[in-house]
Each structure stands twice: as structure tokens, then as C-alpha cells.
């Protein structure tokens, strides 16, 4: 596992109450993520453990070894209302170590047993391993899978998401899930100004989603909260220094200006309609709005500087 430290922990609780999102409950079997997406909003949560959002987030992974057992007990409570649960909101539930621990599979089995619907968000093609459980959960309570994609460009993928599976593998996972009758879509998130926000890139992702059987596509624009912002700025200094002035202007706060975000999301909406994709299915869990998503291991070599796409246009608000 390339020097990654896995720390087995005992969770006291697995169901997490959530506010201000399209769902009320989440469950995450892992904390930290080897996918290493430089924009990942969850990086900042490692600070709560007195760890850094950089190398510690990708190099020290907490494994909640009792997560399925604890979840079963929580779902068995008399006051549980079988509300939808989102899996993979803080770290990817199908990062490579899932192949060993199978905790995400155990969580899906627990939800199935408790007649509780779910949405899974992942960049990991390993999700197809659990098609049998997803089908069973679909038939008993309901399930949706969101496969996260930011770009189909291999150079940008390698730089932005160095530990994730290649985009083509993720699209094949979408295709297999669709063929198995699973409600599956693509989460085009985050859209990264100057790097993945150009029309060519957005259309490639939307078209790829449609061609591989996705029924919906959701999207949101990058936001940078304290901790993540500093990490992403360091990334830009090395890979795309020409974008630094643009980001200083766009991200004076955690979110880019509303007008800027509206223009990009309108562009996605146009493409989504052109390719016949829904904004979101009639599924157990609503869109993961306002959250860029984080992310089996992929090659990390061949790294050169990113070439920013359209920074001048960005400075003019697209």
C-alpha cells in the first residue's frame, strides 16, 4: 500500500446526522483517503485529529473495523425511521483498502436488512463487486450510485486525483451498474475553475456519462474551506502557478461568487439537457449540493505542470 498507515479503530457510532444537505444521515467506514484528490473538502477534517490535511490525510487512514456491526445496532432502534443514508460523503467508501476490509459491503448489507434506502458516492470501480447487494437493496428499500468524475483528460486526472482509478474505468463501472439495473449517475464535481470548467471538458464528461448508461448527472463548483484552501494553493503553486491570481480573486471566501457559479452550472444544465440526462433521479437521497466529492490506485508517474484552460476568461467571469 505504498507506505500508507492503516489504523484500525472501534467506532462508537456510524450514523452521522447531517444538516444543510439533501440528506439527513451519512455513514463513512473510513477516515482519510488514499485517492489523494487535491481539492477534497474532507481533508480539513484530519485537523480535528491534530493531523495535516496534506500527507496525513492520504497517508494515515482510519478503518472503522466494527462499522457494520455498530450500524446494525443503530438501525435496529425503535426510533429509526428508515430514512435514506448517504455513504461516502467524507472519504471514498471504495478506496483500495475496502478490498481487504469489505466494510462498505457490510454497511450495504446492514441497510438492506433494516429496509433502509441509500446513496453511494464513489470514484472507485470496486463498487461493481457489490452489484448483488446493490440489487437486493434496490428491490427492498431503494439505492442510487453516484460515480464522481471531474475530467476525462488523463493529464488533468493524474494531477488532480493521483490515487484514483482512470476516468475510463469509472465510466465502465457506470455501464456495468446500469446494465445491472442500478440507478446510476455521474457527479461532475467539483468543477475546478481554470482546469476543468471549460466547455470542452464539461461536454466530454456529460457525453461520456450518457454514452455509458447514466440516467442523471449532478454538478457543483469547487469550494475551498480553511485547510483545504491552503493545500490547494500549494498544489497550484507547483502545477498551475498562472492560476494563482485568478484564485485569489475568485476565492476570497470559501465559495466563488454566486454569479460565476451560476454561469458554470447553467452551462452544465444545457449540456445535460442536450444529452438527455436527468438532474437527479427520483431516488432515496437528494443531490450532494455544495460539496465537492473526494475519491483502486492509479499510476502517479508522468507528472508535469498543468496547462490552465482559459484563465483570462475566468478573470472576466467566463
Q: Domain tally for the chain? A: 1
> Over pLDDT 70: what percentage of the chain?
86
**pLDDT computed for residue 81 by the predictor:** 95
CB 135 within 8 A of CB 183: no
CATH number at residue 226: 3.20.20.70
**pLDDT computed for residue 21 by the predictor:** 74
- Judged against a pLDDT cut of 50, whether residue 35 lies above it is answered with yes
Average pLDDT over residues 78-85: 95
Give the mean pLDDT of the chain.
Answer: 88
- Judged against a pLDDT cut of 90, whether residue 288 lies above it is answered with no
- Judged against a pLDDT cut of 60, whether residue 296 lies above it is answered with no
Q: pLDDT (tens digit, 9 = 90+) per residue, 117-137?
A: 999 999 999 999 999 999 999
Strands 25-27 and 16-17: antiparallel
Average pLDDT over residues 14-35: 90
214-244 core/surface letters (b: 16 or more CB in 10 A; e: else): bbbbbbbbbbbeebbbebbeebbeebbeebe
**pLDDT computed for residue 246 by the predictor:** 96
Range of the domain at 255: 5-315
Average pLDDT over residues 297-313: 36
- Judged against a pLDDT cut of 80, whether residue 110 lies above it is answered with yes
- pLDDT classification of 241: cutoffs 50, 70, 90: very high
Counting beta carbons within 10 angstroms of the beta carbon of residue 77, is it exposed (0 to 12), middle (13 to 18) or buried (19 or more)? Answer: exposed
- State the pTM of this model: 0.87
- pLDDT classification of 295: cutoffs 50, 70, 90: very low
Strand ranges across the sheet with 85-87 = 16-17, 25-27, 85-87, 118-122, 143-149, 183-191, 216-221
**pLDDT computed for residue 44 by the predictor:** 76
Q: pLDDT (tens digit, 9 = 90+) per residue, 180-190?
A: 999 999 999 99
- pLDDT classification of 196: cutoffs 50, 70, 90: very high
- Judged against a pLDDT cut of 50, whether residue 140 lies above it is answered with yes
Mean pLDDT lowest among 18-27, 95-104, 199-208? 18-27
DSSP 129: G
- Judged against a pLDDT cut of 80, whether residue 149 lies above it is answered with yes
**pLDDT computed for residue 303 by the predictor:** 32
Amino acid at each position: 500500500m505504498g507506505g500508507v498507515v492503516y489504523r484500525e479503530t472501534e467506532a462508537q457510532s456510524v450514523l452521522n446526522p447531517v444538516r444543510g444537505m439533501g440528506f439527513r444521515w451519512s455513514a463513512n467506514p473510513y477516515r482519510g483517503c488514499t485517492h489523494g484528490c487535491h481539492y477534497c473538502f474532507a481533508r480539513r477534517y484530519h485537523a480535528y485529529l491534530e493531523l495535516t490535511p496534506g500527507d496525513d490525510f492520504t497517508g494515515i487512514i482510519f478503518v472503522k473495523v466494527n462499522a457494520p456491526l455498530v450500524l446494525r445496532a443503530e438501525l435496529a432502534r425503535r426510533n429509526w425511521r428508515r430514512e435514506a443514508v448517504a455513504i461516502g460523503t467524507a472519504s471514498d467508501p471504495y478506496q483500495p483498502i475496502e478490498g481487504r476490509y469489505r466494510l462498505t459491503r457490510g454497511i450495504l448489507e446492514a441497510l438492506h436488512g433494516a429496509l433502509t434506502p441509500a446513496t453511494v458516492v464513489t470514484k472507485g470501480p470496486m463498487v461493481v463487486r457489490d452489484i448483488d447487494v446493490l440489487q437486493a437493496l434496490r428491490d427492498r428499500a431503494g439505492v442510487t450510485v453516484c460515480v464522481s468524475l471531474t475530467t476525462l483528460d488523463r493529464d488533468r486526472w493524474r494531477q488532480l486525483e493521483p490515487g484514483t482509478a482512470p476516468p475510463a474505468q469509472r465510466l465502465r463501472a457506470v455501464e456495468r451498474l446500469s446494465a445491472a439495473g442500478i440507478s446510476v449517475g455521474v457527479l461532475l464535481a467539483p468543477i475546478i475553475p481554470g482546469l476543468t470548467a471549460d466547455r470542452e471538458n464539461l461536454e466530454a464528461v456529460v457525453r461520456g456519462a450518457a454514452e455509458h448508461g447514466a440516467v442523471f448527472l449532478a454538478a457543483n463548483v469547487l469550494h475551498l474551506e480553511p485547510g483545504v484552501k491552503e493545500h490547494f494553493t500549494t498544489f497550484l503553486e507547483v502545477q498551475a502557478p498562472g492560476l494563482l491570481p485568478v484564485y485569489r480573486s475568485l476565492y476570497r471566501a470559501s465559495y466563488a461568487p454566486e454569479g460565476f457559479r451560476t454561469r458554470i452550472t447553467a452551462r452544465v444544465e444545457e449540456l445535460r439537457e442536450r444529452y438527455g440526462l436527468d438532474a437527479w433521479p427520483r431516488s432515496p437521497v437528494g443531490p450532494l449540493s455544495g460539496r465537492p466529492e473526494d475519491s483502486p490506485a492509479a499510476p502517479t508517474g508522468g507528472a508535469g505542470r498543468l496547462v490552465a484552460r482559459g484563465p483570462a476568461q475566468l478573470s472576466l467571469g467566463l
